[in-house]
Amino acid sequence: MAWSSELLLLLVLVVVVVAVVGGVGVYYYTSRKKAQAQPPATLPSPWAQPPPGQPGVFAPPIVERPPGAPPTEPAPAPPAAIQAQAPPAVAPQVSGPQAAPAPPPPGAAPAVQPPPQQPPVAAPDTSRTSYFGQPPAFSTPRSAAPQAAVSAPPAFPPQGPEHRPAPPPAPAPFPTAPPAGPDMRHFTKKIILIGDGGVGKTTLIRKFVYDMFDDKYIATIGTKVSKKKVVFPENHLNVNLMVWDVQGQRNDPLLTRYFTGAEGALFVCDVTRFQTFENLPEWIKDFEAVCGKVPTIILGNKADLVDNAQFGEGELSAMAARYNARSYLTSAKTGANVEASFKELAQAITK
């Protein structure tokens, strides 16, 4: 039963579609037939005869001649508007003996000849204005326009080598460092700063290399390399120091690789923390196990914090004597003994 209802609904839908399509086709066919039955629309000719009671616009009126009228019937006169536009008749000019005027009779006053008439000059058309409120330039007669003055051609400057301007002076050369003498000795050396974390190794390097100080503590991860050139003119030395900043954790498995190749070392401790001073022997032992006996200097950093110091120059000197080294109290903030300690190490490793 359900299948029969669906079939009936589908059949009704097909019938509706066929009816709509058929209606559209019939409407289209009927419209085409009507359009073909009507004559094509044409525009009226401007010369066609106007309807009765309406004068022509473009063509003159056509006058019908009655049957049997002679063909010599004069043509009708044009309208008054056309006559007003017609040019005036010009009298024919006669040349030769017939053109001479007849002599006046005896005793008559001589005829006064009128002066010759000049052609009228067109006045400017003031009814039209330009964008700036003035009469347009084309309304003025060409003969009344002022003639522009013709200027002489510009004179060219004299040519030749003697008349050429002098060239500008050459710029001064950029100042450079004086060249090194032939007896200067050049070295590239690797030095390393070693010590516990937070003792100021990075601030010492920054003060020596860039002459800068920052009291913010940022822990060094791994290692960082800086470059600084040190010149000793009296000794004819030119040393390129490769300064290695090593992190302060002794349990780093890569620590021994950072030590490899170092030709000098700065062991740094913090004078405000005695524990960093006690850990120096362990650092020195690890370093000498890789690099052997090389020039070393022991630094007690943060010497500007006098009130918080837990040891002084005496303890540093005793520690340095054990390892045949030099010692300095340094301050990265004030720069005390910073440059002197680096330069002394540079001279020691080039001997």
Give residue-wise pLDDT tens across range 97-152. Answer: 454 555 666 665 556 566 666 666 555 555 555 444 555 554 444 544 455 555 55
Mean pLDDT of 29-36: 80
Rounded to whole angstroms, how far apart are CA atoms 294 and 191?
Answer: 10
Tell me the one-letter amino acid at 54: Q
Give me the pLDDT at residue 101, please. Answer: 56
pLDDT exceeding 90 applies to what percent of the chain?
Answer: 37
Q: Of 19 and 101, which is predicted with more confidence?
A: 19
Confidence of residue 176 (pLDDT cuts 50, 70, 90): very low
Give me the pLDDT at residue 139, please. Answer: 47
Residue 336 has pLDDT above 80, yes or no: yes
**Pair 242, 189: CB distance under 8 Å:** yes
- The per-residue pLDDT of the chain, averaged, comes to 75
Mean pLDDT of 49-60: 54
Mean pLDDT of 223-245: 91
Give me the pLDDT at residue 24, please. Answer: 85
Give me the pLDDT at residue 145, please. Answer: 47
Residue 242 has pLDDT above 60, yes or no: yes
Mean pLDDT of 28-35: 80
| Domain layout of the chain by residue ranges | 185-349
List pLDDT tens digits, range 279-328: 999 999 999 999 999 999 999 999 999 999 999 999 999 999 999 999 99
Q: Provide the angle, in degrees to the nearest 10, between the axes of the packed helices 338-349 and 201-210.
A: 80
Residue 215 has pLDDT above 50, yes or no: yes
Judged by average pLDDT, the poorest of 5-9, 158-162, 172-176 is 172-176
Q: What CATH number labels 185-349? A: 3.40.50.300
Q: Work out whether strand 237-246 and strand 264-270 pair parallel, antiparallel, or are unpaired.
A: unpaired
Q: What is the pTM of this model?
A: 0.49
Give me the pLDDT at residue 27, please. Answer: 83
Give me the pLDDT at residue 34, please. Answer: 79
Give me the pLDDT at residue 64, please. Answer: 61
Per-residue three-class SS string for the chain: CHHHHHHHHHHHHHHHHHHHHHHHHHHHHHHHHHHHHCCCCCCCCCCCCCCCCCCCCCCCCCCCCCCCCCCCCCCCCCCHHHHHHCCCCCCCCCCCHHHCCCCCCCCCCCCCCCCCCCCCCCCCCCCCCCCCCCCCHHHCCHHHCCCCCCCCCCCCCCCCHHHCCCCCCCCCCCCCCCCCCCCCEEEEEEEEEECCCCCCHHHHHHHHHHCCCCCCCCCCCCEEEEEEEEEEHHHCEEEEEEEEEECCCCCCCCHHHHHCCCCEEEEEEECCCHHHHHCHHHHHHHHHHHHCCCCEEEEEECCCCCCCCCCCHHHHHHHHHHCCCEEEECECCCCECHHHHHHHHHHHHCC
Tell me the one-letter amino acid at 68: G
Give me the pLDDT at residue 175, please. Answer: 46
Give me the pLDDT at residue 35, please. Answer: 77
